[in-house]
Amino acid sequence: MIYNYTIFRFSDIFYIDATNQQTLEADLLAISPPNVEQSVAGCQQWLANQQGQNWLLLFDNADDVQLNLAMFFPDCRFGNILVTTRNPQLSIHAGENADAKIADMDSEDAKCLLMQISRAENHNENEKIAALIVKVIFYLFL
């Protein structure tokens, strides 16, 4: 799934379901444009050629230590990769001192953070929508 909006500094945000190899490969294929070779390698090459872009590749639910997640990372020195996992063994992908443990926020803090980063007007309807959104994602913000 592709989210083509900017949050802070990202040119594009690409969400990859890293639950297993099949979902990971399918989501990688889905983010490459039609003129790109429809393979994992083709997608990786396309991302690696996006110099000047500051994309975010988000691997979500990467809990399977048997899955070599690094083989799905594009080979480049730009862009951003974020891996969410409940498995501490997967911190091997984080590099030195790069892993962070993130816990749930309380509902009011999560709602306030969402309102702030979305720059939504503070009125009752937006606060109701924000409260619903943070409840659906279990008050966890990245």
* pLDDT per position as a tens digit, 5-63: 444 567 888 999 999 999 999 999 999 899 999 999 999 999 999 887 888 898 988 88
The amino acid present at 84, given as its one-letter code, is: T
Domain ranges for the chain, please list them.
2-93, 107-136
pLDDT digits (tens, 9 = 90+) for 86-129: 777 666 666 654 555 666 678 888 888 888 877 778 888 888 88
**pTM score, whole prediction:** 0.63
Q: What is the separation, in whole angstroms, between the first and last Cα of the chain?
A: 17
Q: Got the DSSP string for 20-72?
A: SHHHHHHHHHHHS-TTS-SSHHHHHHHHHT-TT---EEEEE----TTS-GGGG
